[in-house]
């Protein structure tokens, strides 16, 4: 993960932590960016996460209401081009063909319905079928005003333990800051302790590092070890002190590209858990060392071990 550091001078300066250096390449001056985080990703429930949240005391009716709402919104989306474009966009359908933006541009011309066009009717039916299938078999239920965000570290050590900073920025120019208790998880969730609570600090003060660089559409985790007194006052029964970084409590996550589900309880108080479990232990795997210079045979052997161990449950 590479994030902007406002304290660095110059436009071609890159600072690396020791953990980011995987191998030495002193003669290489190129860097490849695999993905740019320019948009927030919507939050979706799934079957494993729903099971864990129910075990934490979230009523079944909460999930049922959101599912029924998603079904109605999906079926109604075919009536208007703007709604259909939004449906395709949030579910990642037709992105490579720029269908969502095409529909939005047509809607801006004043034509907000293509009910008589056989091609678009077929397109909408396929999209609706895809979304409803995900709802039925995967319980992929969208939650508004909640996000799936990539995690980064607070390198300036501004945040206290269990504090996070979240700035949501849309292409349209709307910017918002999450404030108050947030429910955080990371897929896949397999243990009740994979869901934890943190406190989002909200709008940054004028002199803070986040006011100078807000790192939009990421969740910034604290690297400090003292428990925030504000958290004790707000939800003292749900937080515990400790030195363990919060990402490691979420299914053994890290800050090397992992994305985290962030659900603000200020907007969704009905998702407030009745209790929080201790996180499971996720010890790192033992490193495998060899007494010889690595060859392509070692690389192939390592890759095959990875394929065998990477089995979906």
As a three-state string, the secondary structure of 150-214 is EEEECCCCCCCECEEEEEEECCCCCEEECEEEEEEECCCCCCHHHCEEEEEECCCCCCCHHHHCC
User: Is pLDDT of 60 > 90?
Assistant: yes
Strand 163-169 and strand 175-177: the pairing is antiparallel
Cα–Cα distance between 213 and 199 in angstroms, integer? 20
Per-residue model confidence (pLDDT) at position 36: 84
Q: What gap in Å lies between CA 146 and CA 179, rounded to an integer?
A: 12
Could you tell me which residues come within 8 angstroms of residue 185 by beta carbon, excluding any fewer than 6 positions away? Answer: 49, 52, 194, 195, 196, 250, 251, 260, 261
What share of the chain has pLDDT > 70, as a percent?
Answer: 93
Cβ 211 vs Cβ 205: under 8 Å = yes
Q: Can you give the pLDDT at residue 225?
A: 60
Confidence of residue 278 (pLDDT cuts 50, 70, 90): very high
Which DSSP letter does residue 77 get?
G
* Structure confidence at residue 10 as a pLDDT band (50, 70, 90): confident
pLDDT tens for each residue of 116-126: 788 888 888 89
**Which one-letter DSSP state was computed for residue 280?**
P
Which pLDDT belongs to residue 241? 40
pLDDT at residue number 8: 85
pLDDT in tens, 71-98: 999 988 888 888 888 888 888 888 888 8
Residue 313 binned pLDDT confidence (cut-offs 50, 70, 90): very low
Evaluate if pTM is beyond 0.75: yes
pLDDT at position 18 is 81
Give 133-172 pLDDT, tens digit per residue. 999 999 999 999 999 999 999 989 999 989 999 999 987 7
Instruction: Encode pLDDT of 189-235 as tens digits.
Output: 999 999 999 999 999 988 889 999 999 999 999 987 644 333 333 33
What integer pLDDT is reported at residue 50 of this predicted model? 96
Q: Nearest-CA neighbor of 183 among 57, 37, 71?
A: 57
More confident site: 132 or 283? 132
Measured between alpha carbons, how far is 285 from 291 in angstroms, rounded to an integer? 19
Residue 218: predicted pLDDT: 95
């Amino acid at each position: 993960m590479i994030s902007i550091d406002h304290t660095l001078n110059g436009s071609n300066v890159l600072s690396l932590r020791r953990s980011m250096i995987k191998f030495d390449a002193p003669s290489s001056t190129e860097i490849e960016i695999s993905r740019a985080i320019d948009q927030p990703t919507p939050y979706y429930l799934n079957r494993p996460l729903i099971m864990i949240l129910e075990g934490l005391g979230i009523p079944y009716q909460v999930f049922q209401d959101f599912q029924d709402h998603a079904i109605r919104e999906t079926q109604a989306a075919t009536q208007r081009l703007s709604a259909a474009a939004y449906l395709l966009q949030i579910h990642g359908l037709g992105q490579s063909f720029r269908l969502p933006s095409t529909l939005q541009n047509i809607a801006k011309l004043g034509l907000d319905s293509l009910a008589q066009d056989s091609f678009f009717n077929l397109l909408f039916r396929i999209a609706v079928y895809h979304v409803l299938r995900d709802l039925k078999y995967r319980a992929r239920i969208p939650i508004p005003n909640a996000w799936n965000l990539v995690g980064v570290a607070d390198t300036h050590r501004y945040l206290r333990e269990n504090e996070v900073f979240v700035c949501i920025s849309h292409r349209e120019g709307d910017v918002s800051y999450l404030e108050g208790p947030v429910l955080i998880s990371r897929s896949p969730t397999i243990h009740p302790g994979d869901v934890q609570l943190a406190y989002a600090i909200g709008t940054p003060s004028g002199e803070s590092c986040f006011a100078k660089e807000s790192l939009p559409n990421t969740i910034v985790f604290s690297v400090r070890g003292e428990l925030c007194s504000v958290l004790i006052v707000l939800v003292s029964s749900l937080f515990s002190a400790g030195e363990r970084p919060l990402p490691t409590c979420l299914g053994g996550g890290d800050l090397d590209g992992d994305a985290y589900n962030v659900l603000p309880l200020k907007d969704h108080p009905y998702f407030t858990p009745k209790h929080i479990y201790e996180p499971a232990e996720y010890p790192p795997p033992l490193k495998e060392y060899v007494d010889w210079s690595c060859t392509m045979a070692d690389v192939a052997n390592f890759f095959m071990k990875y394929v065998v161990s990477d089995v979906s449950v």
